[in-house]
Chains A and B, each alone.
Chain A
Amino acid sequence: MAAHLKKRVYEEFTKVVQQQHEDLSTKKLRLTKPSKSAALHVDLCKATSPADALQYLLQFARKPVEVESVEGVVRILLEHYYKENDASVRLKIASLLGLLSKTAGFSPDCIMDDAINTLQNEKSHQVLAQLLDTLLVIGTKLPENPSVRMRLVEVACKHLTDSSHGVRNKCLQLIGCLGPVEKGVAKEAESQAAKDVQKIIGDHFNDQDPRVRTAAIKAMLQLHERGLKLQQAIYSQACKLLADDYEQVRSAAVQLIWVLSQLYPESIVPIPSSNEEIRLVDDAFGKICHMVSDGSWVVRVQAAKLLGSMQQVSSHFLEQTLDKKLMSDLRRKRTAHERAKELYSSGEFSSGRKWGDDAPKEEIDTGAVNLIESGACGAFVHGLEDEMYEVRIAAVEALCMLAQSSPSFAEKCLDFLVDMFNDEIEEVRLQSIHTMRKISNNITLREDQLDTVLAVLEDSSRDIREALHELLCCTNVSTKEGIHLALVELLKNLTKYPTDRESIWKCLKFLGSRHPTLVLPLVPELLSTHPFFDTPEPDMDDPAYIAVLVLIFNAAKSCPTMPALFSDHTFRHYAYLRDSLSHLVPPLRLPGRKLVSSAVSPSITPHEDPSQQFLHQSLERVYNFQHLDPQGIQELLEFTIRDLQRLGELQSELAGMADFTATYLQCQLLLIKALQEKLWNVAAPLYLKQNALASAAAKQILEETYKMEFMYSGVESRQVVIIHHMRLQAKALQLIVTARTTRGVEPLFGMCEKFLQEVDSFQRCFISELPHMQGSFVDKLLDLMPRLVTSKPSEVVKILQTTLRQSTFLHLPLPEQLHRATANIIEPTGESDNPLRFTSGLVVALDVDATLEHVQDPQGTVKVQVLYPDGQAQLIHPKPADFRNPGPGRHRLITQVYLSHTAWTEPCQIEVRLLLAYSSNRSKASTRIPKSTWSESLEALPPSENGIEGTIPFSKPVKVYIMPKPARR
């Protein structure tokens, strides 16, 4: 029977191959195509031993196969499959079948029957598993074909009884990925297969092999992900799996329980060994909490992570997670947290100097002590003390998420979070500080907690300190002593790490504005004023004094009685600081002083903001310039650009908008200048000057348009059109200039064609926007398009010239929010006179620290450029891990740049700056071309032809003094 079948299939497919050959050779004259499968065929026939055949197959797998020849190759492979006796070769063929059916554009339903047939006669378990894998690939490639899926699922069900775990594994995976999800289909299936997928998978929850058990749970989760509602009955099964011997089973089971708890949070489950009942989500919470003290850290991480997302759990259970009863010799003992709290409430400061301060107090009933926690008890206490930092981080994250949704829990977990500030791993410390910041709305810090928090300010890691400053920005402090303590510690921090200046001032600004009433009683002490005597005036440039003033002025903003306590010089200092550090010092209404600028009533909304109005008005004026003479237009543009630039400097929130429009107007100005008629009419020999001017203008416009497109965040498609339009105009200008300077027509043909192509692609990309562009350059150009295509280059140039001149200036609509990408290099400062010495030929690492604002995807775009005095430039791509994201729209780059050079005779300066890389096809084609899965060795795709890559410098260059010394011999 088997032999017959084999023969039949064999005959069948040989026929097909022949047809294939004919087909291809008649259709197309590309001889490489059929030779692909033919070569494989020849190779495989040549192979004498299985090892040889395997080698050929491996070689074959390295090269991709075109869509048209896939089927032919599959037939060849199948032929050899039937002939082959060696299991390893069959295995490779099976895996190749899977890879081939993944080929994009190939529909694998034609090979499905063959693949299923091969399954029936296969004896080797490994090959069987591989074939099932191939079927899985085929099934996933045919998503909208339920009958195929049903058939595959049936095949898989048949093989579920196989004795090899690999085969059962794959079967379950297949069922999970392809099993019917919709109810209707399931009904139909019942008539056919009479089986319920969930039940089939559920039966394998207690398979004898742990790998199969894991696969079964994973398949169940896969079904859930595909939208099938899992039955609640699985819950009890899953609970049993939590006690499995194997960690991967437990890990998957924890996930399954979590999924079920999200599906049926409110259903009631009985507690075994008692007749009480609780909500399912509470029960699941307890069970997952129990897994936080599992033996395997993988499971612990998994459990701790999932806890965070179980927000429906009742508060009673939630609070148990922080529960820990201490005892010593069977007597109850208070935890350090409780002691601290008591000391605080009794108004005493912690002495902490007594032995037996923590002496155990009352006796406890031996029966009442629960040593092994049932359910949620102490889960976080365990998780936060775990030996693996992965578990601790996961626990902190979970704590954060739960605390955000429950204020009372937030209050309770505070002590534990504060403790985590002293973890031995920096990542954990940082994470817990961030967590605390996120929940700070719900909490008020006690003094002793604040004390611990502030102790971390001395940490030598900048990240930690800055995170802590951010935390202090949004903390609530309960007492005036607390504020004082915070100020003192911050000032200590300032003297120890002067580079933290900005961050500390900012922190104090918020601290002051949040706690005006607590600052008020401290003012005389802080300003060291005396009721009778005048005190010496403090140094105005002292950062510590500025810090104190920032705190006080911000508090005074909402506390009108405070200025009465100021002495004369304080007012003077206020005026100075208000000017020099306007972002830190708020406008104050001071008695007896007229500060008109500060009298802006806060009720004005940004819409009525005069500066915004000014921006719009000046733009209006520009757009209506048609009636002016050329000279007038130029002047108007120049003035407007100047105004806008100044506006950008004054109003930081409008800077992006103002710069953006100013750049646009600048482009327009350049275009107008370049096209001035009288210059174009001069005789040929005098072209030179004009040409230089025009080509320079064209070049600059191109650069500016790239800046406009890529340097601003919030640019919408409406703006992109205008920008591209401007670029098109610049290119037209370039073409005209070249036409006038080059002799002969030959090179012009190419250029014209290219330009027309660009016009064409512009039309294709922005077809929807064209109606808005009446009377514009491109609009006119498109009207003339049929003529342009047929005419000679010289005519084209002429047409272009007139169209350019006649076209109207397009109105640039402004988006809601527009921000310019900026970068500021903090380190190196460029002030050092000591050259960085290193031996030539070796490398020296230069620390670069920069803040980036409004940069999208900095990991991909921001580069560091190093310019050596000899003109040599070096471009460095920082690692993705070097970018941190402290807040929305802000990034921080902390990286090391490696410098090297041959020996110099004396120290010299190099320039370091940041660049923003762009490529013009990135903006349009946001969907990246998916990587070919066919083989890893496939070379990277060549960049598409019309993609223009470039960089824009967007930070001030910083000079670094270096000195490569000659190597000593």
Chain B
Amino acid sequence: RRFPDFSYITQNGRLTDFLDCVIISHFHLDHCGALPYFSEMVGYDGPIYMTHPTKAICPILLEDYRKITVDKKGETNFFTSQMIKDCMKKVVAVHLHQTVQVDEELEIKAYYAGHVLGAAMFQIKVGCESVVYTGDYNMTPDRHLGAAWIDKCRPDLLISESTYATTIRDSKRCRERDFLKKVHETVERGGKVLIPVFALGRAQELCILLETFWERMNLKAPIYFSTGLTEKANHYYKLFITWTNQKIRKTFVQRNMFEFKHIKAFDRAFADNPGPMVVFATPGMLHAGQSLQIFRKWAGNEKNMVIMPGYCVQGTVGHKILSGQRKLEMEGRQILEVKMQVEYMSFSAHADAKGIMQLIRQAEPRNVLLVHGEAKKMEFLKQKIEQEFHVSCFMPANGETTTILTNPCIPVDISLGLLKRETAIGPLPDAKKPKLMHGTLLMKDNSFRLVSPEQALKELGLAEHQLRFTCRVHIQDPRKEHETVLRVYNHLKGILKDYSVQHLPDGSITVESILIQATAHSEDQGTKVLLVSWTYQDEELGSYLTSLLKKGLPQST
């Protein structure tokens, strides 16, 4: 089987009815490559949400992808340029932190994710249940983008990528310094530096890095980047300054950092120019195109250098030279001897294990789900997440369904009068703490209302019933009835200081609304019977009182 296999999407016709919306987190092809196929060939007419930079850059990449697949590889069942255009018409662009109401229930909100220009994490919310999907993100800032950030939105589920689940990286600054030092040394020696890159993302980061270094160090050697895609992409980077990091945003008033002073467009003829130079050329793995051409020209000179800024797939020239091969067999049985220096620098823009944990700490989700990574590595991270945050963590395989239990909130309307009355009782309400309220819950016509008992009775047309508890307590006391009552009264008064205890003229005692009466026992005059009576609302106090009386009165002095 060959991948990508778009037939995986669905075989059963149009999808508009099944989906409310489609969200694209960023423009990398592993996140948006099948979009035109999906919307035009499978069929989807609903909204597609992406950020502004993604919307701008995505069609260029898709077009490039289509060209390579159709024109070079000869794939037939593939989308056309027109389809890309039609697809892009369905796109709705969103801003960061803008809440978009997709339909009556569903709302989405984008957060900054770093990674590449315009990458976003999305919060998807229905009622009070929410999911955050991170897409790819980066928690450490680089030369052109900031770090991912999310507020304490406490989603029910956080779906996070986990590319580097088992890696903790060294500081970016060390890598950058190494990189610059190598380039600087080579250029000073008079050598040429080749940096094979992919058109978007790392290319711009490294451009900014070299540009500022050249500026700082007052260097004169020319820097070139290959024309075409990179040039177009740089144009968009210039436009979307607000999506870049602090430094670029702050200095943009004086000068847009993407208006390179030292970096110029490359021409094929420049490769043979004498003297030092630095060239960014596509593609990044040295498997074809301009970068390979330049590599063949420069490989023979030991003064030159090639720096691989990223991962290389097995079988490519890039991978071969990185694994130390010095003699390469090119097409046509040519043997190319590599004398130039080969360097490897990892400039990756995914969050490492620490970064993932940091994001979880920021968002405080109730559940975590790991995707976009290898099972074995995810296992480790899962264990760590469960251990540190005490939240459940899932890592479903492709096609596997995970069920997550949530505690949805059910909104209930409450009349203002009742709310005010109930909050007035007791101390001021505490922040975010549940508060107990008394009322009657009415479930009527698919709506919930909390009303006062009287109102509930009125609405339902019911008569009010009183429920009273009565209890008899026997006390051994030879004295007269009213003396006993007086003793009880004094006793209660002494204990229940916060309540109003009253001795009524008719010989009974009231504690709040609880009534206590004493009668002599019909058979035994030495035993007095205390009758305690309370309504069900006062159940707590009433039962406390009976238990108190059952203990008996203190011996009078």
Contact = CB atoms under 8 A, between A and B. Distances in A.
Given A206-B431, A366-B380, A387-B147, A327 B166 contact: yes
Interface string A294-312: 0100000000000000000
A371 interface: yes
A327 to B, nearest CB: 5
Output the residue of B166, B168, B175, B343 with the most chain A CB within 10 A. Answer: B168
Given A422-B173, A455-B181, A460-B218, A328 B430 contact: no
B109 interface: no
B323 interface: yes
22 contacts: A208-B430, A213-B431, A293-B361, A324-B170, A327-B167, A329-B377, A330-B166, A335-B171, A366-B383, A371-B168, A372-B354, A381-B171, A385-B173, A387-B141, A387-B146, A387-B246, A388-B246, A419-B174, A419-B177, A459-B217, A460-B216, A460-B217
A353 B341 contact: yes
A295 B153 CA distance: 12
Contacts of B184: 455
Contact of A371 (B140, B173, B178, B388): B388
A389 B251 CA distance: 13
Interface string A205-243: 011111001000000000000000000000000000000
Nearest to B361: A372
Given A295-B362, A355-B342, A420-B173, 8 more contacts: A245-B152, A295-B151, A328-B167, A329-B167, A335-B171, A335-B174, A336-B174, A385-B171
A452 B177 CA distance: 9
Contacts of A213: 431
B182 interface: yes
B259 interface: no
Contact of B216 (A329, A337, A384, A461): A461
Most buried by B among A336, A381, A496: A336
B426 to A, nearest CB: 12
B431 A389 contact: no
B173 A419 contact: yes
A425 interface: yes
Q: Which 4 A-B pairs have the closest CB atoms?
A: A387-B141, A336-B174, A208-B431, A355-B344
Interface in B138-154: 140-141, 143, 146-147, 149-152
A606 interface: no
Contacts of A328: 166-167
Nearest to B148: A387
B233 interface: no
A451 B381 CA distance: 39
B431 A327 contact: no
B43 interface: no
Contacts of A811: none
A161 B428 contact: yes
A702 B150 CA distance: 68
A967 interface: no
A295 B152 contact: yes
A352 interface: yes
Contacts of B341: 353
Main secondary structure of the interface of A (DSSP, over half): loop
A353 B152 CA distance: 44
A424 interface: yes
Nearest to B354: A371
B149, B173, B380: most-surrounded residue (chain A CB, <10 A): B173
B99 interface: no
Nearest to B172: A385
A356 B345 CA distance: 10
Interface in B419-476: 428-432
Question: On chain B, which size bracket covers the interface?
Answer: 35 or more
Contact of B246 (A353, A358, A389, A420): A389
Contacts of A420: 173
A14 to B, nearest CB: 40
B45 interface: no
B170 A293 contact: no
Interface string A317-359: 0000000111111100101110000000000000011011010
A496 B361 CA distance: 49
Contacts of A210: 431
A381 B389 CA distance: 22
Contacts of A324: 168, 170-171
Given A353-B341, A460-B215, A460-B218, A424 B174 contact: no
Contacts of A458: 216-218
Contact of A496 (B146, B169, B182, B218): B218
Contacts of B388: 371-372
Interface of B: 140-141, 143, 146-147, 149-152, 166-178, 180-182, 184, 212, 215-218, 245-247, 322-324, 341-344, 353-354, 357-358, 361-362, 377, 380-381, 383-384, 388-389, 428-432
Contact of A385 (B140, B215, B216, B246): B140
Interface string A727-764: 00000000000000000000000000000000000000
B431 A207 contact: yes
A390 to B, nearest CB: 9
A355 B323 contact: yes
A244 to B, nearest CB: 9
B149 A295 contact: yes
A423 B216 contact: no
Contacts of A207: 428, 431
A366 B146 CA distance: 31
Nearest to B251: A425
B217 A369 contact: no
Contacts of A295: 149-152, 362
B279 to A, nearest CB: 20
Interface string A381-414: 1001111110000000000000000000000000
Interface in A458-477: 458-461
B247 A326 contact: no
A352 B217 contact: no
A210 B358 CA distance: 24
Contact of B168 (A161, A326, A389): A326
Contacts of A330: 166, 377, 380
A371 B176 contact: no
- Which of B175, B216, B217, B362 is most buried by chain A, counting CB atoms within 10 A of its CB? B216
A213 B430 CA distance: 11
B171 A424 contact: no
A389 B178 contact: no
Contacts of A387: 141, 146-147, 245-246
A123 to B, nearest CB: 16
B121 to A, nearest CB: 14
B21 to A, nearest CB: 28
Contacts of B247: 389, 424-425
A208 B428 contact: yes
Contacts of A372: 354, 357-358, 361, 388-389
A771 to B, nearest CB: 62
B348 to A, nearest CB: 11
A422 B177 contact: yes
Nearest to B171: A385
A325 B168 contact: yes
Nearest to B381: A371
Given A330-B166, A371-B388, A208 B174 contact: no
A697 to B, nearest CB: 55
Contact of B353 (A337, A371, A496): A371
Contact of A327 (B149, B168, B362): B168
B143 A424 contact: yes
Nearest to A295: B362
Nearest to B149: A295
Contacts of A327: 166-168, 353
Contact of B171 (A388, A419, A452): A419
